[in-house]
Amino acid sequence: MINQLSWKVGGQQGEGIESTGEIFAIALNRLGYYLYGYRHFSSRIKGGHTNNKIRVSTTEVRSISDDLDVLVAFDQETIDLNYKELHAKGVILADAKFTPKKPEDTQAALYAVPFTEIATELGTSLMKNMVAIGATSAVLNLDIHVFEEVVQEIFGKKGAQVVAKNMDAIKAGYEYMKNQLVDGVEIMELEKADGKKRMFMIGNDAIALGAVAAGCRFMAAYPITPASEIMEYLIKKLPALGGSVIQTEDEIAACTMAIGANYAGVRTITASAGPGLSLKMEAIGLSGITETPLVIVDTQRGGPSTGLPTKQEQSDLMAMIYGTHGEIPKIVMAPSTVEEAFYDTAEAFNLAEEYQCPVIILSDLQLSLGKQTVEPLSMDKVEIRRGKLVTDEIPENENKGYFKRYEVTADGVSPRVIPGMKNGIHHVTGVEHDETGKPSESAANRIAQMDKRFRKIENIRFNTPVYKNVKHEEADVLFVGFNSTRGVIEEAMVRLENDGLKVNHAQIRLIHPFPTDEVLPLVRSAKKVVVVENNATGQLANIMKMNVGHAEKIIKHLKYDGNPFLPHEVYTKCKELF
Partner 1 sequence: MATFKDFRNNVKPNWCPGCGDFSVQAAMQRAAANVGLEPENLAVISGIGCSGRISGYINSYGFHGIHGRSLPIAQGVKMANRDLTVIASGGDGDGFAIGMGHTIHAIRRNIDITYVVMDNQIYGLTKGQTSPRSAAGFKTKSTPMGSVEQAISPMEMALTAGATFVAQSFSTDLKDLTALIEAGIKHKGFSLINVYSPCVTYNKVNTYDWFKENLTKLSDIEGYDPSNREEAMQTLMKHNGLVTGLIYQNTERQSYQELINGYAETPLSQADLNLDQQYFDKLVGEFM
Contact set for partner 1, span 257-286 (CB under 8 A): 257-268, 282-283, 286
Report, in Å, the least distance between residue 215 CB and partner 1.
3
With binding defined as CB under 8 A, does residue 220 bind partner 1? Answer: yes
Contacts with 270 (C-beta within 8 Å, 6 or more apart), sequence order: 219, 220, 221, 254, 255, 257, 258, 280, 294, 295, 296, 297
In the three-class reduction of DSSP (H, G, I as helix; E, B as strand; rest coil), residue 102 is classed as: coil
Q: How far is CA 532 from the centre of its chain?
A: 17
Q: Work out the end-to-end distance of the chain between its first and last CA atoms, rounded to an integer number of angstroms.
A: 35
CA distance 567 to 504: 16
Of 235-243, 299-307, 489-497, 506-514: span binding partner 1 (CB under 8 A): 235-243
Report, in Å, the least distance between residue 486 CB and partner 1.
21
> According to CB under 8 A, which one of 161, 306, 423, 442 is a site residue for partner 1?
423
Report, in Å, the least distance between residue 365 CB and partner 1.
20
Q: Binding to partner 1 (CB under 8 A): which residues in 29-58?
A: 29-30
Report, in Å, the least distance between residue 201 CB and partner 1.
5
For partner 1, the closer of residues 285 and 487 by Cβ is: 285
Q: Binding to partner 1 (CB under 8 A): which residues in 281-310?
A: 282-283, 286, 290
Backbone φ and ψ of 54, nearest 5°: -125, 130
Omega of the bond leading into 239 within 30 degrees of 0 (cis): no
Q: Is 356 left (phi over 0), alpha (psi -120 to 50) or beta?
A: left
Report, in Å, the least distance between residue 33 CB and partner 1.
13
Report, in Å, the least distance between residue 549 CB and partner 1.
38
CA distance 308 to 320: 19
Report, in Å, the least distance between residue 384 CB and partner 1.
5
> According to CB under 8 A, which one of 31, 126, 154, 425 is a site residue for partner 1?
425
Omega of the bond leading into 304 within 30 degrees of 0 (cis): yes
Element spanning 150, H or E: helix 148-155
Tell me the number of residues near partner 1 by CB under 8 A: 72
With binding defined as CB under 8 A, does residue 205 bind partner 1? Answer: yes
> According to CB under 8 A, which one of 98, 402, 454, 462 is a site residue for partner 1?
402
Of 109-117, 122-130, 301-309, 377-385: span binding partner 1 (CB under 8 A): 377-385
Alpha carbon separation from 392 to 262, 350, 353, 422, 423 (Å, rounded): 19, 20, 17, 10, 11
> According to CB under 8 A, which one of 83, 200, 222, 479 is a site residue for partner 1?
200
Report, in Å, the least distance between residue 166 CB and partner 1.
21
Q: Binding to partner 1 (CB under 8 A): which residues in 428-467?
A: 428-431, 438-439
CA distance 133 to 23: 8
> According to CB under 8 A, which one of 11, 16, 424, 515 is a site residue for partner 1?
424
With binding defined as CB under 8 A, does residue 377 bind partner 1? Answer: yes
For partner 1, the closer of residues 391 and 498 by Cβ is: 391
Q: Binding to partner 1 (CB under 8 A): which residues in 479-518?
A: none
Is 91:157 a contact under the CB 8 Å cutoff? Answer: no
> According to CB under 8 A, which one of 243, 465, 513, 564 is a site residue for partner 1?
243
For partner 1, the closer of residues 13 and 204 by Cβ is: 204
CA distance 518 to 464: 9
Element spanning 234, H or E: helix 228-237
Of 72-80, 412-420, 504-512, 519-527: span binding partner 1 (CB under 8 A): 412-420
Q: 534 burial class (0-12, 13-18, 19+ CB within 10 angstroms)?
A: buried
Q: Binding to partner 1 (CB under 8 A): which residues in 531-560?
A: none
